[in-house]
Copies of this chain bind each other. A is one copy, B any other.
Amino acid sequence: MKTVRLGIAGLGTVAQGVLDILASNQQLIATRSGIDLQVTRVASRTPKPDVNLAGAQFSTQLADLYADEQIDMVVELIGGEDVAYEFIQAALAAGKPVITANKAVIAAHGNTLLSHNAAPLRFEAAVAGAIPIIQAIQHGLVANRFEHVVGIINGTCNYILTAMQEQGAAFADALATAQELGYAEADPTFDIQGIDAAHKLAILLGLAFDSPFNFADIYIEGITEVTSADIQYADELGYHIKHLGLARLTDTGLEARVHPTLIPKSQLLASVNDVLNAVLVKSDAAGNTMYSGPGAGGAATASAVLSDVIGLACQLPQQDTPRSVDASAVRVLPIEDIRSAYYLRIPTKDEPGVFAQVANALSSHGISIEAAIQKEPRAGQDLVSIVILTQVVQEAEMAAAMTQVQSLPQVQGSIARIRVETLD
């Protein structure tokens, strides 16, 4: 039996989850892995709360963790960005292997941190909580060339869109319920604007496409513009609207984008509801494999943290992250170069010939209509909605067409447009 001593930085819900799992499953883990895992020190900048540390020492100095020669590995669960980044850097420099759940730090600084060779760094918990998606990409599918990685990777957005879909709730009401239930923060900006999903996509993209983590090049839209009318019209057309992170290798470069997306109801991913996360991976040999589960929560995230801890403790050299990453190998495409089908909802006056004018405008930009429905005015309104599914079109053409349609005198108010992915 090999004893491995952990130091934990931070004492929030995930740290608590790690302590709880070890309290109940320490013996089971030892039987399975041959590792006797012990938390010997916990450090948090705030004074020790009333938490059972199971005999671990407590200190308010984070540096105590990597200064402690008895500690074999450090788990970073501070959260935030700057302090956590500095801490991870210092711990690696001190030769301590680091396990982190911090997606913001990895997305922004992962390339720098992984170039340290002093000690290994693992971050399974940074993407999709309990789901071992990083291991699936790096180990289970290691022999595959990846075509796309598409994920519902923000539980808050998925909860809100599911509530809008199933209960017809308005965005603001669904958000308020999510906040009441603890599924959204008091300040939900990071989640509903897509920043959190983009952090995770940056990590998935780097691993799947053997490229650097590249948060800055990801195109990001949140879910704040999605209305329950859009969800209902999409449903009539055979689609659900999900907030996706999508990375896809094309002949011209890499698509990397986060936005609300129509996906066919027949896709398994379309049935991933509430706060669940799921990542669909298409690769050349394995085909479409999908991984789903809880994307957040103390115990679920701690499960992923401990998987990394035990893996490192057993020394899994294969999991060592991007080697020989060639920054010039894949180019992330600017959003104007993306090709996508579109859902359009165009509010217009109820006059004859409007549909023909819209169709002509689209046609003049080479945009074909796949399906269309015209919706009568809602009670108390005098505008009709022309709802159109387009065929695949280049983003720049769509932007130009939208300017033209928007300028039609019958069009009143702004046009809703949401991308469609069939995930073939």
Contacts and interface: CB of A to CB of B under 8 A. Distances in A.
Interface string A267-302: 010011000100000011111111111100101101
Contact of A285 (B31, B284, B286, B299): B299
Contact of A139 (B135, B210, B315): B135
Contact of A31 (B24, B138, B288, B323): B323
A29 B142 CA distance: 7
B284 A288 contact: no
Contacts of A138: 32
A294 B139 CA distance: 17
A310 interface: yes
Contacts of A24: 145, 284
A94 interface: no
A6 to B, nearest CB: 12
A25 B145 contact: yes
A317 B315 contact: yes
Given A135-B140, A307-B139, A292 B293 contact: no
A396 interface: no
A299 B317 contact: no
Contacts of A310: 139, 142-143, 318
A149 to B, nearest CB: 14
B285 A293 contact: no
B292 A290 contact: yes
A302 B24 CA distance: 38
A141 interface: yes
A416 interface: no
A33 interface: yes
Contact of A290 (B32, B293, B306, B318): B293
Interface of A: 17, 20-21, 24-25, 28-29, 31-34, 124, 130-132, 135-136, 138-145, 210, 268, 271-272, 276, 283-294, 297, 299-300, 302-304, 306-307, 310-311, 313-318, 323-324
